Amino acid sequence: MLWALTNNSYDGDDFLAFDDATMQWVAPVDQALPTKWKWDRVQILNQYTKGYLEKECVDWVSKFMVYGDKEFSPPKIYVFANKAKTAGNVHLTCMATGFYPKDVIIHIKKNGVHLTDKDGVQSSVVIPNDDDAYQIRKSVEIQEADTSNYKCYVLHGTLLKPIVGKWGKVF
């Protein structure tokens, strides 16, 4: 089976395709030949691509087929700060709600750096709302005097680019 990678295009035409039977790249336009030759030599890339297209991609398509007639909804995000129990600290919270399907990614970043649970980020699980949509929260406790730039990034299949929320000086 030949898999066209249409997001790799040149002047509106397919740029590269992958033939999973031969595990080789196919260049339908001359401008793609240098990339084809380079990628064909990277065997691990070809094995990964074959596995992705035959397993993960099929899993995603199957997953979305289950959604059937349900309407896809982008998340709405809310960022807010509350006083923490520890004196001099605040909780920064990012909540995404109203989205469907339930697969969503939320990151809190400090000065552009992704914070993790090792940085104190706490996350709820994705839970259903009353309207068949979903919600999730992430939060981090910081010192009230912290003047760093904190932002919340929400990625969802209905979005072309992440939604970004920024906490103002609301403490």
**pLDDT tens across 114-167, in order?**
999 999 999 999 999 998 899 999 999 999 999 899 999 999 988 989 999 998
**Confidence (pLDDT) at 117:** 92
**Confidence (pLDDT) at 94:** 95
**Confidence (pLDDT) at 68:** 59
**Confidence (pLDDT) at 9:** 58
**Confidence (pLDDT) at 151:** 94
Residue 8: pLDDT above 70?
A: no
**Confidence (pLDDT) at 11:** 62
74: tokens are: 């982008």
**Confidence (pLDDT) at 17:** 83
Give residue limits of the domains in the chain: 2-66, 76-166
Query: Residue 160: which H helix or E strand, with range?
Result: none
Q: Which residue type is seen at 114?
A: H
**Confidence (pLDDT) at 64:** 67
DSSP state for residue 100 in the 8-state scheme: B
Q: Tell me the pLDDT tens digit for each residue of 86-110.
A: 999 999 999 999 999 889 999 999 9
Pairing between β-strand 150-156 and β-strand 104-110 as defined by DSSP bridges: antiparallel
Average of per-residue pLDDT values in the chain: 85
Q: Are 90 and 81 in contact (CB under 8 A)?
A: yes
Residue 65: pLDDT above 70?
A: no
Q: CATH: 2.60.40.1180, 1.10.275.30, 3.40.50.720, 2.60.40.10. Which one for 76-166?
A: 2.60.40.10
**Confidence (pLDDT) at 6:** 40
Out of 5-14, 68-77, 93-102, least confident range: 5-14
**Confidence (pLDDT) at 170:** 44
Residue 7: pLDDT above 50?
A: no
Q: Of 90, 86, 85, which Cα lies nearest the Cα of 140? A: 90
